[in-house]
Amino acid sequence: MKKRIRYQGFFIFLLLVGAILGAKVFWASYTNNFLDYFTDIFGMLLVILGFLLHVSSRGYKAEESFGGEKLLKDGPYALSRNPMYLGVFLVGMGVVLVVFKLWVFSVFLVVFLLFYYPEMQKEERALEHKFTDEFIKYKQRVPVFFPSLRVVTSKELKEYFPLKAQWFNREIVSAICVLVAIFLFEIIGEL
């Protein structure tokens, strides 16, 4: 894994933990209503979905791109040109929903756009330079970030989310850390 990506991931993880800590401990609302429970459950589902998308995208890329010599257009890359970043975004949005504070959403969105949007643009330029016409056709068919609902409903989910057990080995520590942090701060917030 590139050092830059590792450091970015660690920095964003620290920001998420800080946001959860700040929102749940220092500015806790202490209301137990249906909306809190709904956002907690939906947020956790987004965290899990984002994690699965990230693992699927990363594993698929490692096995199918032949070291960057092949343009990926299938699997998770048929949904989005940036499925790994979409996975990170879904994890972050899940955490935002668990915290359920508007300022946390604002902080997350700014940090995400500052770190990942320039990276997406840089990668697209490199792919267009390397694969020219093939990438231009791919760009016309596949959205840059959010998948089209028409495409999502046209195939079986397993075609978009290929998962293998060994792909989880690289991501298991980060997933456990995020999930444990969410559960701990949720419990702290409830106390």
For the chain, which residues make up each domain, given as ranges? 32-190
- CA–CA dist 134, 128 (Å, integer): 8
pLDDT in tens, the chain (191 residues): 455 555 555 555 555 556 555 554 444 554 567 777 788 788 888 988 888 888 888 888 888 888 778 898 888 898 899 999 999 999 889 888 887 666 778 888 998 999 899 999 999 999 999 998 998 998 988 888 888 776 666 566 667 777 777 777 777 777 677 777 666 666 666 65
Q: Please check whether residue 157 is in contact with residue 53, taking contact to mean a CB–CB distance below 8 angstroms.
A: no
| SS3 call for 176 | helix
CATH of 32-190, one of 2.60.120, 1.10.287, 3.90.350, 1.20.120: 1.20.120
Identify which of 69, 68, 70, 90 has the alpha carbon closest to the alpha carbon of residue 79.
Answer: 90
CB atoms within 10 A of CB 50: 22
- CA–CA dist 20, 14 (Å, integer): 10
pLDDT of 59 reads: 87
pLDDT of 90 reads: 93
pLDDT of 1 reads: 46
pLDDT of 65 reads: 82
Counts of helices then strands in the chain (DSSP H, E): 7, 0
Q: Rg of the Cα trace of the chain?
A: 18
What DSSP state is assigned to residue 166? G
Instruction: Please state the pTM of the whole predicted model.
Output: 0.74
